[in-house]
Structure 1
Amino acid sequence: MTDTMWVVLAAVVLLPVGYYAVDVVQRRRLLARLRAAWGKEDALRKLDEDELTDIAHHYRQRQAVQPSLVPVDDTTWNDLDMDEVLRHIDASTSIVGSQALYALLREQGTPEEVLRQRAELAYAFEQEELRLKVQEALTAIGQQAFHGAWRYLFSGQFEHPRGAWIYPILALLPLTLALLGLISPVFLLLAAGAFLVNLVVYYRTQTTWKAEITSLRHLGAVLRCAQRLERINHPALADLRARIQAHNAPIRPIRFWLPLFGMQTVGDMALVLEYLRIFFMIDMLSMVSIVRIINRSMQDVRALYDLVGEADAMLSVAQYRQRVPGLCRPVFEKERGMRFTGLAHPLLKNAVPNDLVWTRNVLLSGANASGKSTFIKAVAVNAILAQTIGLCRATALTMCRGRVMTAMAVRDNLLGGESYFVVEIQSLRRILEAMDGRMVYGFIDEILRGTNTIERIAASSAVLDAIARRNALCMAA
Structure 2
Amino acid sequence: MEGNVNWIPLGILGLMVVIWATKFLTAIRLKQKLKKAWDGAPFFRKKDTEESLIASLAYPAKGKTIDSQVDDQTWHDLALDAVFDQLNYTQSSLGAEALYQKMRLLEFQPQDQLHDLEAFFEEHPDLRLKVQVIFNQLGKKNHNMARSIVANPGKHYAGLPLYIALACLPILCLFAIPFEPVGAITLLVISVVFNIVFSSLRNWSNKIRLDNVSYLVRIFASAERLSHLALSQQEELKQAVKPFKKTRILASVLQSPTGTSEMEIILLYLNVLFLLPQIAQVYIYNQVKAYQKEAQKLLDLLGEMEVAISLLRHKRDLEVVCQPVFTETGGIEGETLYHPLLSNPIANDVHFQKTWSSVGTMRPGNRPI
Q: Do they fold alike, i.e. is TM over 0.5? A: yes
Alignment check: 8 A CA contact 1:34 1:132 kept: yes
How many residue pairs were aligned?
A: 363
Matched, 1:246 2:239: yes
Displacement of 1:353 in angstroms is 1.7
Provide Cα deviations, 1:15-72, integer angstroms capped at 9, x if missing partner: 6766555444323321221112116484685847xx011111121x215986642122
Displacement of 1:170 in angstroms is 3.1
Separation in structure 2 between the aligned mates of residue 367 and residue 185 of structure 1, nearest angstrom: 90
**CA distance 1:83–1:46, change in 2 (3 Å):** farther
Larger relative contact order (Cα-Cα within 8 Å, sequence gap ≥ 6): 2
TM-score between both structures, scaled by the size of structure 2: 0.80
Matched, 1:297 2:291: yes
Residue of structure 2 in register with 1:134 after alignment: 131
Separation in structure 2 between the aligned mates of residue 330 and residue 139 of structure 1, nearest angstrom: 31
Supply the AA of the counterpart residue of 1:107: L
**Paired residue secondary structure (1:339):** strand
Provide Cα deviations, 1:95-148, integer angstroms capped at 9, x if missing partner: 111100011112332532xx1221121133234212101101111110231223
Separation in structure 1 between the aligned mates of residue 23 and residue 311 of structure 2, nearest angstrom: 30
Q: CA RMSD in A?
A: 4.2
Alignment of 1:403-414 (within 5 A): none
Alignment of 1:52-451 (within 5 A): 52-59=50-57, 61-63=58-60, 68-74=65-71, 75-109=73-107, 111-112=109-110, 115-126=111-122, 127-157=124-154, 163-171=159-167, 173=169, 179=176, 185=182, 188-233=185-230, 237-238=231-232, 240-255=233-248, 257-259=250-252, 277-356=271-350, 361-362=355-356, 375=368, 378=369
Alignment check: 8 A CA contact 1:199 1:278 kept: yes
Residue of structure 2 in register with 1:34 after alignment: 34
Displacement of 1:79 in angstroms is 3.6
Alignment check: 8 A CA contact 2:170 2:192 kept: yes
**CA distance 1:183–1:116, change in 2 (3 Å):** closer
**CA distance 1:307–1:181, change in 2 (3 Å):** same
**CA distance 1:15–1:173, change in 2 (3 Å):** closer
TM-score between both structures, scaled by the size of structure 1: 0.63
Alignment check: 8 A CA contact 2:90 2:96 kept: yes
Provide Cα deviations, 1:332-375, integer angstroms capped at 9, x if missing partner: 22334443322111111221222345567456799999899x64
Displacement of 1:212 in angstroms is 1.4
**CA distance 1:62–1:41, change in 2 (3 Å):** farther
**CA distance 1:326–1:308, change in 2 (3 Å):** same
Could you tell which deviates more after superposition, 357-366 or 115-124?
A: 357-366
Separation in structure 2 between the aligned mates of residue 143 and residue 366 of structure 1, nearest angstrom: 43
Supply the AA of the counterpart residue of 2:82: E
Extract unaligned runs of 5+ from structure 2. Answer: none
**CA distance 1:4–1:102, change in 2 (3 Å):** same
Supply the AA of the counterpart residue of 2:115: A
**CA distance 1:289–1:108, change in 2 (3 Å):** closer
The structure with the largest alpha-carbon Rg is 1
Displacement of 1:214 in angstroms is 1.5
Taking only the aligned residue pairs, the percentage that are identical comes to 23
Alignment check: 8 A CA contact 1:158 1:212 kept: no
Extract unaligned runs of 5+ from structure 1. Answer: 379-477
Could you tell which deviates more after superposition, 142-151 or 223-232?
A: 142-151
Separation in structure 2 between the aligned mates of residue 355 and residue 267 of structure 1, nearest angstrom: 54
Supply the AA of the counterpart residue of 2:319: P
Alignment check: 8 A CA contact 1:261 1:287 kept: no
Separation in structure 2 between the aligned mates of residue 10 and residue 169 of structure 1, nearest angstrom: 23
**Paired residue secondary structure (1:332):** coil
Separation in structure 1 between the aligned mates of residue 221 and residue 135 of structure 2, nearest angstrom: 9
Separation in structure 2 between the aligned mates of residue 336 and residue 280 of structure 1, nearest angstrom: 59
**Paired residue secondary structure (1:220):** helix
Alignment check: 8 A CA contact 2:241 2:298 kept: yes
**Paired residue secondary structure (2:297):** helix
**Paired residue secondary structure (1:140):** helix
Displacement of 1:218 in angstroms is 0.5
Displacement of 1:318 in angstroms is 0.5
